[in-house]
Amino acid sequence: MRAAGFLRRSLSVLRQARCYADAPSGSGQMSFTFASPTQVYFKETSVKQVDVPTLTGAFGILPAHVPTLQVLRPGVVTVFNDDGSATKFFVSSGSITVNADSSVQLLAEEAFPLDQLDVAAAKANLEKAQSEMASASDEAVRAEVQINIDANEAIVKALE
Amino acid sequence: MVAYWRQAGLSYIRFSAICASAVRAALKPQFKVEAMKVAESSVKVYVPKAIA
């Protein structure tokens, strides 16, 4: 008898719809700002997607991406514009902010279009850094040389 | 996972500075001049000598 009464009372609760997440609101637009200290590449421009290289891995950002703060590593940023074209830049380092309203701010320490970089110069710097590694004694010096090697490897990889 | 440079005692600021100079060094000559001018530090560090 008591079980039936309990069931009757709980039925009204069960009839309510249960949601675990809210549907994302917003217009499906992404406002993108991308700048280095010397050059502004995008200023609150609407774009479809941005691929970024972060310290924790590379990921693509679409409208309604979960808000996040990340730091960048040397790598290629690809911007997919609303008209379908894609532009690539090489960034050295910096930060990326994705806000709740889907606006994205990418502030780079140095950022250049890929065609401004010289693969031969990057390869030469890479070899020089690798030979420096052999003579590095201190752990801090070794880490600094390794950062240089990683950055040049990323440039070579981006240009090939 | 701690980054190797963090473990060696370097900060992200230092990491960023090294990466930036590596990227500047790999620019094509016509863009390099401009970038080097910008990268030049306008801060001079003066450490006064301690008096005996």
Top-confidence residue, A12 or A159: A159
More confident position, A67 or A8: A67
Interface touch A118/B27, C-beta < 8 Å:
yes
Report the percentage of chain A scoring pLDDT > 90.
74
Tens of pLDDT, residue by residue over B6-50, are 999 999 999 999 999 999 999 999 888 877 787 777 777 788 888
The DSSP code sequence of A115-156 is GGB-HHHHHHHHHHHHHHHHH--SHHHHHHHHHHHHHHHHHH
- The reply to whether residue A147 touches residue B18, judged by beta carbons under 8 angstroms, is yes
pLDDT higher than threshold 90 for residue A68: yes
In whole angstroms, give the CA distance from residue A12 to residue A141: 68
In terms of pLDDT, which residue wins out, A15 or B23?
A: B23
Is it the case that residue A114 has pLDDT exceeding 80? yes
Mutate to test the interface with B, among A71, A93, A114 (most CBs of B within 10 A): A93
Strand duo A86-91 + A30-35: pairing: unpaired
| Pair type for strands A30-35 and A104-108 | parallel
What's the mean pLDDT in A49-71? 94
In total, chain A counts a number of residues equal to 160
Q: What is the pLDDT of residue A145?
A: 94
**3-state DSSP call for residue A104?**
strand
Query: Collapsing DSSP states into helix, strand and coil, what is residue A54?
Result: strand
Query: What pTM does this model have?
Result: 0.80
Interface probe, candidates B16, B24, B42, chain A, greatest A C-beta count within 10 A: B16
Q: Cα A131 to chain center, whole Å?
A: 32
Average pLDDT score, chain A = 89
Q: What is the per-residue pLDDT for A19?
A: 66
Environment class of residue A22 by beta-carbon count within 10 Å: exposed (0-12), middle (13-18) or buried (19+)? exposed
Contacts of A54 in chain B (CB under 8 A): none
Predicted local distance difference test score (pLDDT) of residue A133: 87
CATH domain B4-39 topology: Atp Synthase Epsilon Chain; Chain: I; (1.10.1620)
B43: closest CA of chain A, how far (Å): 17
ipTM topping 0.85: no
**Position A12 confidence tier, pLDDT thresholds 50, 70, 90:** low
Q: Out of A31-35, A75-79, A117-121, B30-34, which region has the weakest mean confidence (pLDDT)?
A: B30-34
